[in-house]
Structure 1
Amino acid sequence: MFPFPHLTELGSSWTHVLLALGAGLILPSVVDPTNNRHRAALMGISFLLALRYVWWRGTETLAPAGWTIDMLASWSLFALEMLALIGSISAFTIMSRIRLRSEEADAHEAWWGEQEPRVAILIATYNEELEILERTIVGARSLRHRNKEVLVLDDSRRDWLRDYCAEQGVRYMRRPDNKGSKAGNINHCLDRLAEDPVPPDFVAVLDADFVPHRGFISRSLALFHDPKVALVQTPQHFFNADPIQHNLGISRSYPDEQRFFFDYMQPSRDAWGIAICCGTSSICRWSALREMGGFPTESVTEDFLLTLALQERGWKTVYLAEPLTEGLAPEGLKEYVTQRARWCLGLMQIARSKYGPLAKNNLRLRDRWSVIDSVFFWMTSFPFRVAVVVYPLLYWFFNVIVVNATLTDVISYFGVYFVWSFMAQRTLMPGMFVPVLHDTSQLIGALPISRAAFTGLFRPKGHPFSVTAKGGDRTKVIVQWEMMAPFLVLLILTLLGLTLGIFVDRFAFNDAGDGKWVVIFWTIYNVFVLLMTILACVELPRRERHIADLPDRGILVTDGDIRRQWISSLTMEEARLRGKIYPIGTTGLLRLRDVGDVPVEVIAQTVDGNRVRLTPTPQQREALLVRFYAEGAAPGTGRAQLAGLLAGLGRRLSFSDRR
């Protein structure tokens, strides 16, 4: 019903793509990702191919000028695409450099001499449960740095938390109001610390759900050897899967959504001198904070604004790319999207503030670029993602051609640009981008984030701080129908349009030639993205999980019997043991490394051992918390693993994923 493209031209186009693919495959063997000249070369080629693609799109694929639906649709999509591409080119430029500071931290370890600097560790809390706060407080108390004070800043004025802090020997603070939200809470504490006989030299900030590793303070302080450094930011890692990882069943084979920013973008930003504060997991010099009067409160993202305020005064923010804290990722899809919409809103407030890129201030050109880059990301990426799903429907239902291109040209121009960019990113950021899943993570929050972007830009004031909810009952399947509805409608329309367009003669343009193949491929790709997005809206039950990469060993002591057992699963309440099978109800002691002899009771038999219930003492419970959260390497996975992805998605699609 529609002609095939000319085979000779098609073969020539695929040759271009294969050349880009072949060159990309040898990149890992010749490119050093830490060499800035190598990085600049890769990103420079991506930039040139992007310009080639832009020229083709602007000169050969647009509808003729005139007040027609074709022109409005074609040119509006082109405008959205070009704005998103400007953001990509800005990201290419940032990614052309990288700076890793671990060797610098090694070289300047304990630069202060015999007298450790005094560090105040601020834990800002609003309405979190004790289970969440407990691990953060215990982790902060367990830091190896001795000259420290842990302070819990309670913006909910809870007496039970005051009493718990007294039991733990940490300082508790509350204030009479909630003015300024989190930033105001921290500023109130800074004012009280200024009244102490000996104020701190440095201030560390932790969110209520972030646990520091034991070396967090000492490693971060090493970078303050430079007297111009005001703030050291460290990455955020998460001990639980984010909602997309969890709901798609790929938490073990696909990195969380924040890995790209913290593992790759922040070190690149640091190389340009534009690393940003991300709130939690950061340490700031006391004198710098007092000089500027504390945290700025003009934005709901006070951390990024703090960076700009420091930069304007000549201070530096640097980044230490080491896993020194781990926290709780949003457990629910609504919380996940709400958090990102807040980040977007806050950035737009910054763009309109006195620290904005067009305002009269003392910011450097690179600092202004830093804000502009973030504005382009939030304002273009998400609206464009929605447009990519919606615009093919104009062809199927209204015979509107938004991209008037042959399949050969699409392969030659877009295909080469996409393949090279993907291979370059694969070389510099291995396992970060899986096309359908990357688009799913953007599409799922695209509508509220786009709304937040334009609301913040045109009406920046008067928006309350939206706290990311934590904890709660996560034991049931929850279908987020409200979030799913627009994607379900789009999927139905996409499938209907595709079916009618292929099988019903004259439903869509038959004279579109081989360009119809472009729309078909585009539409089929959207079907997969929409399916994944809808599947991610079905929230699966969660349970606490702490499983090492390799099973650990323990000793089970029962009446008259001592056995070594493999520990394949260990939480605060339960353990799964592999070894001798004991009767249900058997009691004994489980000897755990760095914890001691924990009383246990067998509660179930398995094919290769038992499940036991733990009843640790308060001291053992704290030791377990330290073991789970404050020691070891980064939790989770840092790169996508194809076999695991396919297996996880297969189980999820077959509804056989048992968590």
Structure 2
Amino acid sequence: MVQSLLALTPTLVVIAFFLIGPSNWSRRRTWTRAVTCAFVAAVALRYIVWRLTETVLPYPNDGINFYWVWFIFVVELLAFSEVVLFLILMSRYVDRSAEADRLGRPFFQRRHSDLPTVDVFIPTYNEPLDVLERTIVGTLALDYPRDKLKVYVLDDGRRDWLKTFCEAHGAVHVTRSDNAHAKAGNMNNGLRVSSGDFIAIFDADFVPYRNFLRRTLPFFSDETVGIVQTPQHFFNVDPVQSNLGLENIWPDEQRLFFDEIAPSRDGWDVSFCCGSCSIARRKAIDAIGGFPTESITEDLLTTLSMLNKGYKTRYLNERLSMGLAAENLTGYFVQRERWCQGGIQTLYLHNGPLRGPGLSLFQRIMFLPMSWLVQYLVRFAVLLVPIVYLWLGALPLYFTDVADYVSNQVPVLAAYFLLMLWITPTRYLPVVSSAIGTFAAFRMLPTVISSLVRPFGKPFKVTPKGSGNEESSFDAYTFTWIAGFIAVTATGLVINIVPETARIQGAFSAIAALWSGINVVVLVIASLICFEKPRRLFQAFKLDEPVRVDGTTGRVVSLSLEKAVVAVPTETRFRSPQVKLNLDGFEPIDAELRQATQRRGDISRSGDKRRYYLHLHFDLRGSERDKMIVKLYTGRYSRDVPDIDKVAVSVNLLLRAFGRTRGV
């Protein structure tokens, strides 16, 4: 009993530290983050020293198991290195909104003639009109003098219908004779035909908010700023949210980076350009010879090249645009494999973190693609350790007793999970986040290996987006791997429960059993992501605004470019399904009433119960459709998940595991 309590003491110390300190501290203060991250780093260092001195060095050289023990320790060393870099990074946080306010006042008080000119680049290859029209119309609606703003649609698809659309709306349609160097080459061609002082870049599926330039341009008052990057937000659910049945209760997969990691990188002056939703100084782009073409991730390499020349990147963590997240698993992996390969490519380039001139040692370290190189290897090792032990009896360490293991490993796990829950409270849950990472590992680890061996072996590949994007509804490759690991882990457990078939004995068996059980749970959740749910390509926005349908007053609670759902207080009958929708700021809209539904318990912002819902469909054309695009996509609405409802996440995952979903 006494020994058990002593073994738990370090874990209790960790828990007490977080209860006394971080739980009562602001997570945005630099000193609180620094103290907390330093504490977690100390706990991790204590663990790694114990691993080396007590569980690795004492292990006898008895053949293949000796090399297995050292392999696992090297993997843990890599994980430790990544965690330390992460802790250093997250020990700072910068919010530049107040700086944008301060710089914005004098910047826009200057005479109209003194305002800089801005070119907006929209590089496109094969996106359909229903994707491109939002971006083009949205950029043309930017709150900036029209004579100082030009929108360039850089069309590598050379489509006549897009040229016609651009001419009708006042955008400049640009083509070239070939598609050399993919997106980077396309934007370099845009540089040749444009002359603006600044260049804002939006991928073909991203729509800027109207105040984008007013919030970002003032940062260029500092002549050393070459790029201002803003976060990428989305108006549709990504395949992870959808396939897990967590559409409205779990944030999209990129929120952790854009909301938490990117502002911390900016606090250390190692922020980098992410391509879309950014704006760059033309003088800085000219200084590096245009957008770099050596890597398939020209955005990251642009930042590194500018750092070589003394220019820096700033990150403004404000919602200033919306776009399409990858719509299915095919697009999801195309995107991430490109990011992974591009990050690893920088290791081989003259202007990368290893060889690029003008970089400090700290910058070189922070721009190493450590996360890509380490995280998926670590996840595979976590899955393999209990399997190897259950089937072969091979220990991953020189094992003394359970108390020693609990005293050293449990505290570091507790410290890391508590840190993540404190520093990213609305973006992280240990089991779900681990399952998502494990799901990706089966495809991404081969990409890491192939990128290290042949970094330039795969060409640039566009992420498929849009209404024509209907791909496979089941990821058989990943599911096969996951199912195999579940089967081998579960079978190993069963075999070793029965005394007649047991292959292992000893104190580590209990730890291996618990470890295996956690792995099975994580793998089951990961397997759910493999099954594509039926999806709506373009989601409606939730709102609560007054509206009239013929003579009936109601409130529009859901609105898209083609549909509206109107809540009315009482059941209403119309003479005809053809009705007039009167929405503030629009001419009366000819709509068709397709359905009327009843739902109890809904309450509007005004407090009135709304039980009847009119489902209206319409077909807007011309300027009225453009007005609706501006209304919906340029800043008034969002699809953010502000907090994580842990109970709802658990219930929905359980239902999803049995093939059911619950409306959320």
TM-score range, shorter chain: over 0.9
1:469-618 alignment runs, 5 A limit? 469-472=464-467, 478-510=473-505, 512-513=506-507, 515-544=508-537, 546=539, 551-557=544-550, 562-579=551-568, 580-582=571-573, 585-607=576-598, 608-618=612-622
Match of 2:179 in 1: 178
Tell whether 2:86 aligns with 1:82: no
Q: Offset of 1:186 from its aligned partner?
A: 0.1
Instruction: Say yes or no: does 1:336 pair with 2:332.
Output: yes
1:391-421 per-residue CA deviation (whole Å, 9 max, x = no partner) reads 2111111111224444323332222122222
List aligned pairs for 1:290-309, cutoff 5 A.
Answer: 290-309=286-305
Alignment partner, residue 285 of structure 2: 289
Q: Residue 32 of structure 1 corresponds to which residue in structure 2? A: 26
Look up the match of 1:656. 660
Aligned in 2, Cα 1:633/1:581: closer, same or farther, shift over 3 Å?
closer
> 1:638 Cα shift?
4.4
Q: CA 1:161–1:65 in 2, change beyond 3 Å: closer, same or farther?
A: farther
The Cα shift of 1:8 comes to: 3.2
Q: Which has the higher contact order (CA 8 A, sep 6+)?
A: 1
Rate the CA distance shift 1:262–1:633 in 2: closer, same or farther, 3 A. farther
Matching of residue 627 in structure 1 with residue 631 in structure 2 = yes
Deviates more, 1:464-473 or 1:221-230: 464-473
Amino acid at match of 2:536: R
| Alignment-derived partner of residue 417 in structure 2 | 422
Q: Does the C-alpha gap of structure 1 residues 425 and 554 become closer, same or farther in structure 2, counting only changes over 3 Å? A: same
CA deviation after TM superposition for structure 1 residue 12, in Å = 2.9
CA distance in 2, matches of 1:475, 1:158: 22
Cα offset for 1:145? 1.3
Hey, what's the Cα distance between the residues in 1 that align with 2:2 and 2:19?
A: 25
Contact 2:48 / 2:77 at 8 angstroms: preserved in 1?
yes
Return the alpha-carbon distance in structure 1 between the equivalents of residues 95 and 532 of structure 2: 37
Quote how far apart the aligned CAs of 1:505 are.
Answer: 3.6
**Which residue type is aligned with residue 592 of structure 1?**
L
Query: Equivalences for 1:86-101 in 2 at 5 Å?
Result: 86-101=81-96
Contact 1:581–1:610 (8 Å) recurs in 2: no
SS of aligned partner of 1:564: strand
Identity %: 33
Please state if 1:642 is matched with 2:646.
yes
CA distance in 2, matches of 1:603, 1:584: 14
Matched, 1:61 2:55: yes
* Other-structure match for 2:123: 124
Is this contact kept in 2: 1:583–1:602, CA < 8 A? Answer: no
Distance verdict in 2 for CA 1:225–1:429, change over 3 Å: same
| 3-state SS of 1:253 partner | coil
For residues 164 and 653 of structure 1, the distance between their equivalents in structure 2, rounded to whole angstroms, comes to 46
How far has the Cα of 1:332 moved from its partner?
0.9
Name the amino acid aligned to 1:590.
Answer: L
Amino acid at match of 2:206: F
1:397 pairs, out of 385, 391, 398, with: 391
Is 1:134 aligned to 2:133, yes or no? yes
Deviations 1:11-51 (A, max 9, x none): 33334323322332344553222221211111100110010
Aligned partner of residue 120 in structure 2, secondary structure: strand
1:598·1:620 contact (CA, 8 Å) conserved in 2?
A: no
C-alpha contact 2:270 2:367 (8 A) present in aligned 1: no
Look up the match of 1:376: 370
Aligned to 2:434: 439
Is this contact kept in 2: 1:183–1:297, CA < 8 A? yes
Which residue of the partner structure matches residue 196 of structure 1? none
SS of alignment partner, residue 175 of structure 1: coil
1:451 to 443, 446, 455: 446
Structure 2 vs 1, CA of residues 647 and 555 (structure 1 numbering), >3 Å: closer, same or farther?
A: farther
- The two structures have a TM-score, normalised by structure 1, of 0.93
Please give the TM-score of this superposition, normalised by the length of structure 2: 0.92
The aligned amino acid for 2:655 is: R
Deviation of 1:290 after TM superposition, in Å, equals: 1.4
Q: 1:656 to 1:463 in 2, by over 3 A?
A: closer
Q: Distance in 1 between matches of 2:49 and 2:192?
A: 56
- Equivalent residues in 2 for 1:226-245, closer than 5 Å: 226-245=222-241
Query: Take 2:475 and 2:462, find their aligned partners in 1: how far apart are those partners?
Result: 20
Q: CA deviation at 1:302?
A: 0.6
- SS at 1:470 equivalent: coil
* Structure 2 Cα separation of the partners of residues 599 and 413 of structure 1: 68
Q: Which SS does the other structure have where 1:238 is aligned?
A: coil
- Distance in 1, matches of 2:173 and 2:291, equals 20
Partners of 1:582 and 1:27 in 2: how far apart? 60
Distance 2:212 2:587 in 1: 25
Q: CA deviation at 1:173?
A: 0.3
SS at match of 1:83: helix
* Contact preservation (8 Å) 1:228, 1:315: yes
Q: Which moved more, 1:266-275 or 1:30-39?
A: 30-39
* Range that drifts further, 543-552 or 214-223: 543-552
Q: Is the 8 A contact 2:226 2:313 kept in 1?
A: yes
SS of equivalent residue, structure 2 residue 580: strand
Determine helix, strand or coil for the equivalent of 1:478: coil
CA contact (8 A) 1:582 1:605 kept: no
Cα offsets for 1:591-649 (capped at 9, x unmatched): 22344422111112212232121232422222222222212265321443212312322
What 5-or-longer segments of structure 1 have no aligned partner? Answer: 1-6, 194-198
1:124-159 deviation per Cα after TM superposition (whole angstroms, max 9, x unaligned) = 001111111111111111111122111100111111
Question: 1:253 Cα deviation (Å)?
Answer: 1.6
Q: Which amino acid aligns with 2:384?
A: V
Structure 1 stretch 287-296 or stretch 272-281: which is displaced more? 287-296
Instruction: After TM superposition, give the deviation of residue 473 of structure 1 in Å.
Output: 5.5
Q: Which moved more, 1:407-416 or 1:461-470?
A: 407-416
SS at match of 2:104: coil
8 Å contact from structure 1 (residues 295, 306) kept in 2: yes
The 8 Å contact of residues 584 and 604 in structure 1, kept in 2 or not, is answered as: no
Mapping 1:339-354, distance limit 5 Å: 339-354=335-350
Q: Distance in 1 between matches of 2:458 and 2:469?
A: 29
Q: Is the 8 A contact 2:543 2:556 kept in 1?
A: no
Question: Is the contact between residue 308 and residue 356 of structure 2 (CA under 8 Å) also seen in structure 1?
Answer: no
1-structure distance, mates of 2:556, 2:446: 48
Q: Counterpart of 1:43? A: 37
Deviations 1:220-240 (Å, cap 9, x if unpaired)? 101111111111000111111
How far apart, CA to CA, are the structure 1 residues paired with 2:225 and 2:250? Answer: 35
What's the counterpart of residue 605 of structure 2? none
Say whether the 8 Å CA contact 1:582–1:602 is kept in structure 2.
no
Between 261-270 and 276-285, the greater mean CA deviation after superposition: 261-270
Q: Give the superposition deviation at 1:383.
A: 1.2
TM-aligned CA distance change 1:452 to 1:496, over 3 Å: same
One-letter identity of the residue aligned with 2:26: D
> When the two structures are aligned, how many residues end up with a matched partner?
640
**Alpha carbons of 1:458 and 1:546: their partners in 2 closer, same or farther (altered >3 Å)?**
closer
Indicate the residue corresponding to 1:191 in structure 2.
Answer: 192
Q: Give, in whole Å, the separation in 2 of the partners of 1:379 and 1:431.
A: 26
Q: Deviations over 1:289-308 (max 9, x none)?
A: 11221101111011110001
Letter of the 1:119 partner, please give it.
Answer: V
- Worse-matched range after superposition: 12-21 or 596-605: 12-21
